[in-house]
Structure formats: C-alpha cells, structure tokens
Amino acid sequence: MKYVRFRDPAGAVRRGEYDDGTVQFANERYDLESDEIDVLPPAEPSKIVCIGRNYADHADEMGSDLPDRPMLFLKPPNTLAAHGDTVTLPAGKERLDHEAELGVVIGEQCRHVSEDDAMDAVAGFTCVNDLSNRDDQRQEQNWVRGKAFDGAAPMGPVVATPDEVPADASVQTRVNGETKQDGSREQLIFSIPELIAEITTYLTLEPGDVIATGTPEGVGPLSDGDDVEIEVEGVGTLEHSVRIP
C-alpha cells in the first residue's frame, strides 16, 4: 500500500491511501495533482539520518575512499520540502547538486536494534533528494551549510510499504526530463538492516524519522528554474522545481 499526507480543502492534515493518481480519505477521493489538496512531506521526522558514500560508483566520482562503516550526518526538520514545491536554494553558490536517494521511514521508536530485527522497525519507503551546497560542504566538517539549509530534503510523494519496493529497486534522477542518475537499491554498500543497526547503536530513532540511504553516481549541478524528478521503483516519482535567487 501507499500513503500520502495532505491538507484537505478544509485545512485539516490527513493521511490517505494512494491509488492510481488519487488519494482517498474516509469517503472523499482527491486527485493528487489537483489544486484541491496540498501534498505534504510524507513523514514528520524529528531528524533525517543521511548516509554518505553508500554507493561505490558515487564515492569514485567524488574522488573519495570507500568507508569502513556507514558515514552518518543529519538533516533537521527545516530541510523538509514536499512533492510539487519550488525549493529556494542558497544564493551565490557555484555548485548546488541533486542526489536521488531511497528514504527509509521509521515506524516505531527504536534503539539497539539488531540487523535481524531491523526491518520490523520500517514503516515504508519514500523518495528523497539530498540537495547539497558543495561550495560550503567542501569547507566544513559538520556540513551544516552544505546539507542543512532550508528545503534541502525534498521528500515524497508517498510512503510505500516495504512489500511494494523490490530488493533491486531502481533509483533515478531526471532534470528537465533528462536522466542524470540511474542506480539500484542492490548497489548499497551497507544494507538497510546494517544501517538501522549502526544508527540505533548511537541514537534513538523515532516514528517518522527518515534514513536517506545514499546516492548513486551522476550527481550534478542544478540551475535556476530546473524541474527535478526523483523516482524510486515501487514508490513513485517526487517532483519539485528549484529557484536560485
């Protein structure tokens, strides 16, 4: 099944079931792309835990060594943006990149989770664009300016339950209709159970938290007015545009 968070015509925030372009809540059905509803980020995370260099080909294109354990960094809630949004990127930067990622939505509070039990904590999967300000990322160690600016994590449009998403699900980016990234879930260096086990060794994951599992090769710069599509097989396609002042 697939679920959408949205604001209905009366202004109430709802969680509806998605089916073939429509969202149903109670006895009402809405077109996902209509002006009747506002599509919201599919989860309300207290934090987004991002994984760096989790695809070998991406590490290679960035001239970086492969990590011997998952590289973790955080994006706070201010980075959230929704399907259909126009994201305003930082001004005056030379390199602002797209990064398509499979997002893991956590369904229950968890700490010290074993790999064997890790998938029990997963509510589903979504699409994430880990937008990156390379100018500042290259100058800092904690990546606040580089990764945590407002709107730096467009997410959605749905949460798909785990049974909807193949083990080898494709992960793609298209910019203005042109394919820029084309990878697969099976290329992850550290699997989803490994990531959950490692993360929960150090911090508690809360319901709605999201793990952005890393990006395949092909990351590249965005320009003012670009239209971006992040597609994860079994989830669907997150669409947003960008504005650069």
Cα distance between residue 178 and residue 240, in whole Å: 15
Q: Which residue has the tokens 């070998």?
A: 56
pLDDT number for residue 59: 79
Cβ–Cβ < 8 Å for 109, 205: yes
Alpha-carbon distance of 170 to 168, in angstroms, equals 6
Asked if 242 contacts 224 with a C-beta cutoff of 8 angstroms, the reply is yes
pLDDT at 127: 98
The whole-model pTM stands at 0.97
Residue 216 pLDDT: 96
Which residues have C-beta within 8 Å of that of residue 97, sequence separation ≥ 6? 131, 132, 134, 219, 220, 221, 222
Determine contact, residues 119/97, Cβ cutoff 8 Å: no
Contact between residue 50 and residue 75 where contact means Cβ atoms under 8 Å apart? yes
* pLDDT by position in tens, the chain (length 245): 999 999 999 999 999 999 999 999 999 999 999 899 999 999 999 999 999 999 999 878 888 888 999 999 999 999 999 999 999 999 999 999 999 999 999 999 999 999 999 999 999 999 999 999 999 999 999 999 999 999 999 999 999 999 999 999 999 999 999 999 999 999 999 999 999 999 999 999 999 999 999 999 999 999 999 999 999 999 999 999 999 99
pLDDT of residue 66: 85
CA–CA separation, 213 and 50 (whole Å): 6
Residue 125's nearest CA partner among 213, 55, 60 is 213
Please report the beta strands in 21-160, taking only residues with DSSP state E, as ranges in sequence order: 22-25, 28-31, 38-39, 48-52, 71-75, 80-82, 86-88, 96-98, 100-106, 122-129, 132-133, 153-160
